[in-house]
Every structure is written in structure tokens, then in C-alpha cells.
Amino acid sequence: MTEFSLSSVTVVSVCYKSDALIYDMIASIPDQTPIVLVDNGQSNRFSNLPAQRNIRVVKLSENVGFGRGCNAGASIVDTPWIIFLNPDARLMSDALESLLEAAKHYPLAAAFNPRIANADGSAYFKRRSWLLPRRQYMAKGWPAADSKVPVLSGAAFFVSKENFEKVGGFDPNIFLYHEDDDLSLRLSQLGQLMFVRKSLVVHAAGHSSGRSPEVARLKAFHMARSRIYTGIKHKRPFPRITTFLQALALVFSPITLFSARRRAKALGFLEGTMNRK
């Protein structure tokens, strides 16, 4: 194994009720590349995994959240590079090769995102973060070339194991949402965060754990909690007050009245702002 070969990077995917998705994800990954599947809360069967592939499974007895799941998967990685990949993501041709080329070309960079597309081909680009001042926001759409960016998306997060461990991995206090923002900001203290135009990943955003009102409420609850926690951690102005005002705007929005899912999301977000645990 050389430092920049396809066998030098491990795909880590945190899976929660993702059996319908992971087989296409696995099929998109080069044969030489090791895979670690994290069974979050023992919610996946993982039956009939291809025996010829280098796949290891980490079983977690409870749903510990995305960040802690990533940490559990990364703990058994024995390659120099890791790509954290959502189970509803697909690597397009030469995606990993292009990321490895970028890592070689930009040796001072701390971490990378490929060009991420939605299933319809539109741009899935994390151009801003609640944890950043507005002056650092980027324009909509993908940059036209490899670019330094202020924050990275956790949907396909490429980083050396050394850098990941140096900053302590994902914050285990964040169950869901803003964990990639938080990790990005800590990694940015080590070097640049880079967008790699040539590397393409397709991501069916939000489809890995369902779209029911119950799921929407749970996700919104954790979104609000994480917004407050990370806002305090990174010294954003008035995180509790601004998050509470956002929750009220969601609850009293006219469009919330006509959708059970929107109502559940608004109530979950409000509940999250009032939870002090």
C-alpha cells in the first residue's frame, strides 16, 4: 500500500436503517478500498454483503449519533486516509483517485470535500455555516476550480487519519447537525479546507433515515440543540436567543399549518431550544 493508492483510504459510513441504500454505495467504491460500516443502534441487517470486499462492521448497541458513530468507525481504520461517506452517497468514476491526487497536490490542506451533487444533478455545496460570520459565506453553486472553502460537508468528508486524530475527531457531545461545521473549524486551525472540483459524489440528501413527521421532529430537535451547543462553543452572538426566535418563526409560519411534517419539524425545533441537557 502506497500513501496515495486506492487501498490507502478507508470509507467509513455511519448507517441508521440504511439497508436499502448501502449496496449501491458499496458498488460505487473501488474494489481495493477498505470499507467500515457502522451499525448505529443495531438498526441494519447488513445481509449478503459482498464476501470478496474488505468490509468490516462496527456494531453499536444504541444510536449514538452521527459524530460518535464516525469516531467509532475511524477507531479501527488502519489506512492513512479516511472518507466519511453518507450511506445514500455514490462515488462517481475516479472520485477517490481525484481526492488522493488533491491531497498530494495540496500537502498543506487539512481536509477536503469532493464536488457533491444531488440526485438531480444540482449542486449540493456547503457554502456557509451558522458558526461563521456572513463575510465568509461563499456564492451559491460549485466553485469553478479547486478552491479554499470555509467549511466542509460531512456527506463526503476526506481527511487524513493523522489530522482527524490530532483535532480529537468529531465532538461526541453533538448528536446530529453542525458536527461537520465544528470539525471543519477545528481542522482549519491545521491548514486549508479544500473543495476538489474533479472529484464527484452524488448524494440523495436526507433519504438515509426516512422523511416521516416523527423523523422530522427528532431531527429538528437535535438541530436546535446542536445549533445552541456549537454556537456557545464557537462564541457566536446570543445563540440561545437567536435559536429560540427562529423556532417561533417556524411554529407561527403560515406554511407550517398545511403540512404535518412541517408542523412536526417546527415543534421539534422549539423543543430543542428549551432542552438544557
Instruction: Provide the 3-class DSSP secondary structure of residue 273.
Output: helix
Q: Which grid cell is 127?
A: 457554502
CB 17 within 8 A of CB 39: no
* Distances, alpha carbon 104 to alpha carbons 1, 60, 155, 183, 255, in Å: 15, 34, 22, 22, 49
* Distances, alpha carbon 107 to alpha carbons 112, 127, 194, in Å: 11, 23, 11
- CA-closest candidate to residue 9, choices 115, 161, 155, 116: 161
Cα separation of 233 and 243, whole Å? 15
Which segments within the chain are labelled E, that is strand?
Answer: 9-15, 35-39, 55-59, 81-85, 89-91, 109-118, 147-149, 156-160, 192-203
Tell me the domain boundaries of the chain. Answer: 6-203, 213-274
φ and ψ at 16, to 5 degrees? -130, 110
Model pLDDT, residue 258: 87
- Looking at residue 232, the DSSP 8-state letter turns out to be H
Cα separation of 246 and 272, whole Å? 12
Looking at the domain that runs over 6-203, which CATH code has it been given? 3.90.550.10
- CA-closest candidate to residue 76, choices 55, 95, 91, 62: 55
List the chain pLDDT tens, one digit each, 277 residues: 568 999 999 999 999 989 989 999 999 999 999 999 999 999 999 998 999 999 999 999 999 999 999 999 999 999 999 999 999 999 999 999 999 999 999 999 999 999 999 999 999 999 999 999 999 999 999 999 999 999 999 999 999 999 999 999 999 999 999 999 999 999 999 999 999 999 999 998 655 555 788 889 999 999 999 999 999 999 999 999 999 999 999 999 999 988 999 999 999 999 999 987 6
Model pLDDT, residue 277: 66
Q: Which grid cell is 255?
A: 406554511
- CA-closest candidate to residue 40, choices 11, 72, 75, 82: 72
Model pLDDT, residue 208: 52
Model pLDDT, residue 98: 98
- The alpha carbons of the chain give a radius of gyration, in whole angstroms, of 18
Model pLDDT, residue 89: 97
Model pLDDT, residue 210: 58
- CA-closest candidate to residue 8, choices 77, 107, 76, 95: 77
Cα separation of 113 and 126, whole Å? 10
Model pLDDT, residue 215: 86
